[in-house]
Chain A
Amino acid sequence: MDWHRIRADFPILDQKVNGHPLVYLDNAASSQKPRTVIQTLSHYYERDNANVHRALHELSNRATEAFEAARKKAAHFIGAASEDEIIFTRGTTEGINLVANTWGTQNLRTGDVILITGMEHHSNIVPWQLLAQRTGATLKYIPVLDDGTLDSAAIETLLTEQVKLFAFVHVSNSLGTINPAKELIAKAKALGVVTMLDGAQSAGHMPIDVRDLGCDFFAFSGHKMCGPTGIGVLYGRMALLETMPPWHGGGEMILSVSMESSTYKAPPHRFEAGTPDISGVIALGAAIDYLQAIGLENIQRHDHNLANYAMQRMGEVPGIRILGPQSGHRGALVAFHLDFAHPHDLVEFANSHGVAMRGGHHCTQPLMKRFKVPGTTRASFYFYNTIEEINRLVEVLLLARMFFT
């Protein structure tokens, strides 16, 4: 793979920040967009813009066709059995909330258990807390071990038949841990537990096959995998989607409406009320095409090489504590704490050297408490990042050490 040529597909990367070449290492928060995605957006607005599913004129036909073609692409991208299992959402957060408010409200009762883990993003905690409050169900957490993996002994005792739903993060945005999703889902399925994966950090970084994983629901965000912001996907197994009540009511999701009541469309349209983010969906389709042309296996391998190299080089910085797995078997991010600088001071310092990172709790406050750090600094990579950029990061960390001590 010619990764340097691929990097040139991202116009934004070619700029200076504070007088230094931009080194963008905040990909776990949001990735950059290749030219083809940006062009798809502007092409849509310049040539095809119209509402979908509503009119019979040429532009609406084009928009509808491109919109539904993107649904097929998304289905293929994650190995869904049918494009009807693909619901377009605003992102991972909305996908999780949709499941909590439809399937969750319908199926959970007092005494039921919702099982999640101690390494969840707030978006995979709060919707379940709200659901538990509404239904009287109990929320339980699988503890995280010091090495950033899940406590497998605790899983054995916590994953029981009382559990109605087991939702967990595929790749942790704060630790880089890659959870053994297939294995955990198999355990849950054997007990009849419904499963949901938070794929925000795995989609676009590795091949995803929801049927092989065996999960009932899988949510991801377009903006973390070269797509625009404001668009994401919720996959749901059809057997479940069919039984679920709608969440938002409005246009597009109904068969007929009378003054007394309405009947609803089949999935996925039942869950897509109102005019959707049409340009976002179509551009997400372009992002998927782009990623698949590079190859998800290639991206995964490159991610892995970057993470491995970063682990080695960053380990050289005196006073560093890297959270999560100490091996290179991790997602493409390294979160760390330095004994000589608070994350915000470090991020400010790095920014003045053109290096973009994120410092703070990364929307995982319970996890920060667990590891007794107020927050961490996170360098997160994507396939357009280079070994030279990691070298630059290490150089800046060493400069920060001189500056702050």
Chain B
Amino acid sequence: MLSDDLRDLYQQVILDHSRNPRNHGELSPPCLHAHGDNPSCGDEIDVWVRVSDNGHIDDLKFTGQGCAISQASASMMTQKIKGKSKDEAAAVREDFRRVVMGDGSPADEDSLGELILLEGVQKFPQRVKCAMLAWRALEQALESK
């Protein structure tokens, strides 16, 4: 018997994103780039972002290796963030962080869309850093210049 928590953690959509990551690959310059890793588990990610002059994220891609959670989170992130402004991206990131941390505040489903499916991470505190890996890299990339 599988626990419900585990089924929630590894929903089909999540496994599908991890097996067939969207926006996978590199962007060629000019673009921003950051590398992120979780030294304790060896997960790695590279995020490339192209930001237009008016601060819009026109394109972003990632490569990396790691667990299903880190890869699915990265894949969903790229879909969600593409076309948003930097401020909007930061807001989504904050909503997402609250959801995976499980801080009790109601999740904003409209803002998060499919990302809400990673809510199951709440029950697995050790996996929060997996879910956040790509987002930390994105933040770093946006801050780099």
Contact = CB atoms under 8 A, between A and B. Distances in A.
A359 B43 CA distance: 12
B15 A374 contact: no
Interface stretch (B21-29, B62-70, B80-88, B90-98): B62-70
B69 A345 contact: yes
A361 B42 contact: yes
A360 B41 contact: yes
A154 to B, nearest CB: 27
Given A19-B3, A360-B41, A403-B2, 20 more contacts: A18-B3, A342-B67, A342-B68, A344-B69, A344-B127, A345-B67, A348-B6, A348-B124, A348-B127, A349-B6, A352-B3, A359-B41, A360-B40, A360-B42, A365-B42, A374-B42, A374-B65, A375-B42, A404-B10, A404-B68
- Closest 7 pairs between A and B when the two form their complex, measured CB to CB: A344-B67, A342-B67, A352-B6, A375-B42, A345-B68, A374-B65, A345-B67
Report, as a range, how many residues of chain B touch the other chain: 20 to 34
Given A360-B40, A360-B41, A361-B42, A342 B124 contact: no
B130 interface: yes
Interface string A334-365: 00000001111100110010000001110001
Nearest to B6: A352
B6 to A, nearest CB: 4
A150 interface: no
Interface in A381-402: none
Given A374-B65, A374-B66, A403-B10, A344 B41 contact: yes
Given A342-B66, A342-B67, A368 B3 contact: no
A375 B5 CA distance: 25
Contacts of B67: 342-345
Contacts of B40: 360
Interface string A5-27: 00000000000001100000000
B115 interface: no
Interface in A97-130: none
Nearest to A399: B2
Nearest to A360: B41
Contacts of A349: 6, 10
Contacts of B124: 348
A29 to B, nearest CB: 14
B60 interface: no
A352 B1 CA distance: 9
Interface of B: 1-3, 5-6, 9-10, 15, 40-44, 65-69, 124, 127, 130
Given A18-B3, A345-B10, A348-B127, A404 B42 contact: no
A404 B1 CA distance: 15
A361 B44 CA distance: 13
A173 to B, nearest CB: 16
Nearest to B3: A352
A374 B69 CA distance: 15
A89 to B, nearest CB: 24
Nearest to A20: B1
Contacts of B41: 344, 359-360, 375
A19 B130 contact: no
Contacts of A368: 42
A336 to B, nearest CB: 16
A18, A19, A348, A403: residue with the most chain B Cβ atoms closer than 10 Å: A348
Nearest to A368: B42
A95 B43 CA distance: 31
Contacts of A343: 67
A365 B44 CA distance: 13
Contacts of B65: 374
A321 to B, nearest CB: 16
A19 B127 contact: no
B9 A348 contact: yes
A123 to B, nearest CB: 16
B109 to A, nearest CB: 25
B44 to A, nearest CB: 8
A96 to B, nearest CB: 21
A343 B41 CA distance: 9
A345 B127 CA distance: 10
A313 to B, nearest CB: 22
Contacts of A403: 2, 10
Contacts of A404: 10, 15, 68
Nearest to B9: A348
Contacts of B43: 344, 374
Nearest to A352: B6
Nearest to A353: B2
A403 B1 CA distance: 12
A349 B124 CA distance: 12
Nearest to A361: B42
20 contacts: A18-B3, A343-B67, A344-B43, A344-B66, A344-B127, A345-B67, A348-B124, A348-B127, A349-B6, A352-B3, A352-B5, A359-B41, A360-B41, A374-B42, A374-B43, A374-B44, A374-B66, A375-B41, A403-B10, A404-B10
